[in-house]
Structure 1
């Protein structure tokens, strides 16, 4: 956690995402606490290498980035989702109606 928290702004960001709960009072007190705890620790740079690599791989995946941007841009409201479902339903019904028109009858 010390690698994530250096300043009060870092604590504020982690609190806003629901990662950290602050029961000490101010964000600066939490930042100071984490910085003091980690002063005497000997860090092992490869301790979380697999986790860090997994996070990097997740955030560098272009398909996930494009999909997230597309969803955020085009489906930011429930109404756009309903409109999309309605448009897909209309296209499917149109295709079914067209196929039924060209299918020979058995009479």
Structure 2
């Protein structure tokens, strides 16, 4: 029986997307960038889960809802209800993760 090989996530690519398109806390703007900073991994877990959801064929709405939950409930930033502006922003994050051919690499 062949062992299934799972691709590894490219954390650097995911961070580029997360910090440029999402950054719910606003650290990138207020701290003058994220690269090489102690908080550069702040969103890794959430973005990796979103990427994994997409890889497992979750629809975009489900991933947008997940990121909104993280942003509004878990992190506590922003309104408790999603509006069109926030949904559009989160959809751009999800689309960017989905479209990036370098997010997943072979182990």
TM-score (ref. length: structure 1): 0.27
Higher relative contact order (CA 8 A, sep 6+): 2
TM-score (ref. length: structure 2): 0.27
Larger of the two Rg values belongs to structure: 1
